[in-house]
Chain A
Amino acid sequence: MVPTAFYLGLSAILFTLGVAGVLVRRNAIIVFMSIELMLNSANLVFVAYARQFLEQSGQVFVFFVMTVAAAEVAVGLALIVTIFRTRRGINLDEINTLKG
């Protein structure tokens, strides 16, 4: 049986890597993938605590997180496609105006 604290530590590391991805990378698609990484590390904590306390509600909440992630990806990728159409690029440093 792996202690729950190990899962928490792994999840913290993965979350920090996701934060680093959002801060460092300038490709909008990779920034979105980093957000997915962060959401997934939160899921890992939910499931680890669900195991710890033998409570399935934690596993149900993973569903809701996944739903939010799916909705966010759909809208976000639609935004990226639209921005790419008008600006011919998805470098976040060059997207500095809201009016296309």
Chain B
Amino acid sequence: MALTPELVVFFILAAVSVGAALGMLFSRSAVHSALFLVLNFAVVSVFFLMLAAPFIAMVQVTVYAGAIMVLFLFVIMLLGAEMLRHRSQVLPWQPWLAFVLGVLFVAVLAYVTFFQGGQFLVAGILGTPPIFPEELSAEFGGPASIGLVLYRNYLLPFELTSFLLLVAMIGAVVLTRDSKGRQVDGTYPKPAASERPVRG
């Protein structure tokens, strides 16, 4: 296969994204992990651009790298939980077991992809003649055509999505509400005798 400039860009960006994922995994500080993940999301949005999905790429940057990761950073900095103070010794063998099982997972994934029936899939994909840019209409992946597909074919899932977001919002509000009514000084008001919960 000829090493086209697009392929070179792909390999460089793939290395950056895998490196950012590794950095997220192994940073001691949660803030650094979040910033590595932002880098990973930015690189993946460039992949989306290369795959003729400009609108998805912009949504990736604004929603994922913007909103969701800023939420993560807010929580990390609000809690002051950027470092775990001590390594727990509850399950000392667990990381090693996890490592072995992770390697096994990759092996199974590779086996299924390349040998167990998946080789036809891979061969089919590799054998498919590449789509030339001129076959691709300029509209493909743009906001207008994506919106048409979304509202014509996926209207009900789209409405269900709004319901899902509403439920998540209510859930977040209910979960973070301090139901015991803690006061500013950190103490709790004594409930009246009639309001005290009966145990048993």
Contact = CB atoms under 8 A, between A and B. Distances in A.
Interface residues of A, number: 70
Contact of B90 (A56, A73, A94): A94
A58 to B, nearest CB: 9
A83 B178 CA distance: 12
Which of A23, A57, A85, A96 has the most CB atoms of chain B within a 10 A radius of its CB?
A23
Interface in B23-48: 24-25, 30, 33-34, 37, 40-41, 44, 47-48
A26 B84 contact: yes
A77 B175 CA distance: 10
Contacts of B122: 5
Contact of B88 (A21, A60, A64, A93): A93
A57 B153 CA distance: 9
Contacts of B48: 44, 47
B72 A2 contact: no
Secondary structure call for the B interface:
helix
A98 interface: no
B140 interface: yes
A70 B10 CA distance: 28
Interface residues of B, number: 85
B19 to A, nearest CB: 10
A30 B24 contact: yes
Contacts of A1: 4, 6, 130-132
Interface of B: 1, 4, 6-7, 10, 14, 17-18, 21-22, 24-25, 30, 33-34, 37, 40-41, 44, 47-48, 50-53, 55-56, 59-60, 63-64, 67-68, 71-72, 75-76, 78-79, 81, 84-85, 88, 90-91, 94-95, 98-99, 101-102, 105-106, 109, 113, 122, 125-126, 128, 130-132, 135-136, 140-141, 145-146, 149-150, 153-154, 157, 161, 164-165, 167-169, 171-173, 175-176, 178
